[in-house]
Amino acid sequence: MSPNPVIIVVGRQDDPPLNQTVEALSAFRVHRVMIEDLPDALSPVLDTVTDNDSPVVLLPFALQLSAKERDRLEEALDVVRSIRPKLTVTLAAPIGYDRRVAEIAEERVLAAAAENDPIRAPILTIVGAREESKTFSYADLEALPQRLPDIGTKVPGREGEAIPVHVLLDIVGHAPGEGELVFRSGDDFSANVSTRQARNDGFLVYKLENRPLPARYGGPVRLFIPGGDDRCSNVKSVDTIEIRQ
């Protein structure tokens, strides 16, 4: 096969992904035609192709072709071969169904579902010293006792409702003592705080104006430790608390 075949992408009108596909194939000589314009639309394309440009590949860009569209493609193939018998012309299999399409669709659906239902989506995970873990959603935090209605009473100038760190530690069965907690924010940042300080002074803000704390304010969970070390006293976007003995 020629290292640079001529590709004729056959698609439908008003299909933005078709434009992106043509751009992605820029390493080849690519032409775009509409399936409803076949076979007439091939004539101007063939005018730019010489017999030495073989092979020419017709690539149907569609998840599924109707019987009428398949007939159009077969007719177009016959027309090209009759007009330019010295050209090597091939009809590629349609993009068709691909397992990867289903996987992408599943990812998009799950992401959209979590975005539209932030109340029940997990936002915080506590990992124990023996690797056991427990997750909490916004709804879980809302149901907990001993919430602090206004973090501003502990950290002047800040707003939001918070949960004392010790409340969550008690839930997972972590007894007061020595050791430390690692507050992680994605894969980019972590802050180590002694268990004693976190229990006594730590608060996790998760709510602002009766809604989940927005990411632009450090949500979904933001750690405050009044009077703590500068690096550890204000950690945005906490998603994991790791317990270390």
CATH number, domain with residue 125:
3.90.420.10
Domain that holds residue 18: 6-97
Total domains in the chain come to 2
φ, ψ of residue 201 in degrees (nearest 5): -125, -5
Residue 42: its H or E element: helix 42-46
207 lies in some domain: yes
Per-residue pLDDT reduced to its tens digit, 68-93:
888 888 888 888 888 888 888 888 87
Pair 161, 191 in one domain: yes
Per-residue pLDDT of the chain (245 residues; tens, 9 = 90+): 444 678 888 887 766 677 777 777 777 888 888 888 888 888 888 888 887 766 888 888 877 788 888 888 888 888 888 888 888 888 887 776 566 666 666 666 655 555 556 687 888 999 987 778 899 999 999 999 899 999 999 999 999 999 999 999 999 988 787 789 999 987 678 999 999 999 999 999 999 999 889 888 998 999 999 987 766 789 999 999 999 97
Pair 137, 38 in one domain: no
Inter-residue contact 213 to 192 (CB < 8 Å): no
113 lies in some domain: no
Q: What is the DSSP letter of 210?
A: T
Our CA angle for 190, 202, 138, nearest 5°, is 80
108 lies in some domain: no
103 lies in some domain: no
Tokens matching residue 29: 């000589």
Q: What is the DSSP letter of 228?
A: S
Cis peptide before 55 (omega within 30 of 0): yes
Give the CATH number of the domain where residue 48 resides.
Answer: 3.40.50.1400
Pair 157, 233 in one domain: yes
Tokens matching residue 93: 């299999």
Alpha-carbon span 241 to 245, nearest angstrom: 13
112 lies in some domain: no
List all residues 6 or more positions away from 19 whose beta carbon is below 8 Å from its beta carbon.
32
Pair 122, 201 in one domain: yes
Pair 91, 42 in one domain: yes
132 lies in some domain: yes
DSSP for 80-138 reads HHHH-TTS-EEEPPPS---HHHHHHHHHHHHHHHHHH-TTTSEEEEEE-TTS-EEEEEH
Per-residue pLDDT reduced to its tens digit, 214-225:
888 998 999 999
